[in-house]
Structure 1
């Protein structure tokens, strides 16, 4: 069983949620770090200023009493302060108390002779305190306790007598914890809003894509007229327009193929009819020729020749079309005098008809294929139109125009669109068909092989066919 892959809506929601979460988390982290740094710096500055003021006050009111008495006096002053812990240590050799106890890298908190130390004091901090006299700025050291962190500051009250104050950062930590919680709720709300908006956007995109998908399935099932609604985001609208354009092209191609198929069916019928008549005539004449008198035998011989020539012409046209269809046609170019070529075609097609020539041009082209074009146009003009037929040749620096104008009734309007289609024939308004319906198609294909084209129009005299060919130099050829 095939595993169902995530749909476009899931991808969009996941992408939006991931990007939003990452961006929100980064912003929240940056905001928290900035806020934490600012709060802690203000807390440290406040602690430093407060300790400096205390130390200065105590140092300026020194009564020259023994260290233990001075410690009691300082303790009385500091106990009136709210929110701080303090401890006084006596390092003087004449101290009435034991020296502060040092264990490893710390001085024990219970070594104080006055006050209360909530944590042991690192040796570097105590050494710095012993070197810090009154009226000197002090940078606090942040130390972690059992339940909180402390900003620790120390200084010399008098030689050998050190006071250390502990500023509890519990309120700062609580403030930052509240700030973290606020950021968390804010990030959660932003992520939820982003997920909701992403879901709405994804639903809109999916609805648009589903519309194109549904239209494609219906189109594949045979509904050639179905089209996708161009709604939603720009990309979905572009997708719908692209599908609709493709559907139009496919529908037109199908219609064209069906028309070609109908033409080919007509071809089979026409070719079968055109072949059956001369073949039947040839067979009948051949079977009865020996029994005919000399005069009738001559007429039968002429009839056989005419039917054989018609049959050969049809076969030649079919071979020519098959060569063009297969892409095997080649141009064997040479310098061609168009007036001479048109005159030769007129002499071959209609030796006694009135064909008037005007103008001339010399181009590099395939003489045989140009002869085929002129022969088919002249034959069409004389079969469906009436003489006189005018051949007018003009040229410019980049093209040559050959106009074949007859004096007939013109081309029926309903035949204009299919005039150059294979096996198409004009209706009875231009006289009996007579041809096999391939002449104009072959002429157009040969003109296109030269990089040109043939156009047809009705004038006040009759039908006019214009052959337009590019002027090709010897180097280009």
Structure 2
């Protein structure tokens, strides 16, 4: 299973959300410290003034208390539980600042509602400041809502930025598979629009070059059909049977090469009906089985079909894939040629294997290139080196992958994987 965070969108979201949370927490911490420091400075002045007025007594005490919004409490008149609230210090930024500003031995306590209680050193009269500090918890909901809103906006912006990149990547994959689609819509930042424009120009030029090459190959192959046909007719007029047979073999080889040219030039047949790969193999390679249904030890082709009826491909394409691979295996390798299919969780597998000498490890990549023939091990006069290139092109057209390896006990193995979404109806 693919990791959703291992994408450009996932990394943008993680980076943006992480920065937002970090900035939010850092700002909150700095603001809270600054606020506590300033509040403690001013409240300490109020407490000092109130303590001074408390010592003087008289009417000035009540006047100051009314102006400052504070009250004086005689601890000797309070029950033990009430007096204990002045003595039990609390720990917080403001309490620490106040204890530092007040004379040593002063007690400072603040409850959950923000009411501050101060007991100056050596005094039995406590000072009560209601709502000296607005509790931070009152802002928690608003701060959390702001953070959530910022995260949602960041995710939406990251998604919008990632959309053109995702479209560009999808178009590149489809173009690689041979699907020449419409141009990708230009959107996003200027650099991304320029990249999409360059990609559109490149794919248009490649598609035009592909069409020109296909027309050229098809024209050459078509023009050669007529003289080859005339050569075959004239070969029948030869009196010497040896010359006639040799001449006909040469024209047949030329005809097969031209057929490969045409197969390589044209794209996959989109209008071809879908057929079960297993059923197609059983129908076209039934000679690989004895009349009783058991494998024939002398058969050129053996079947091991376990993909099921849901493994579907266009009839023309599966016929071209198997005919090229089986012919290639019988020409350059040794029988039996094994055809096997398997159904996996997310893809189907089609494997064709021969029992010949295989291919040198250094040439495994080259053997898939067009017009490449490995001489003398896998060369021939009736082939143009297009068989495996045609197969790879058809496999890619259906979103699959092709891998060429040598079997441990000898022989070349062509393993093809087709995604289920593309190979089912």
What is the TM-score when the length of structure 1 is the normalising length? 0.37
Larger gyration radius, structure 1 or structure 2: 1
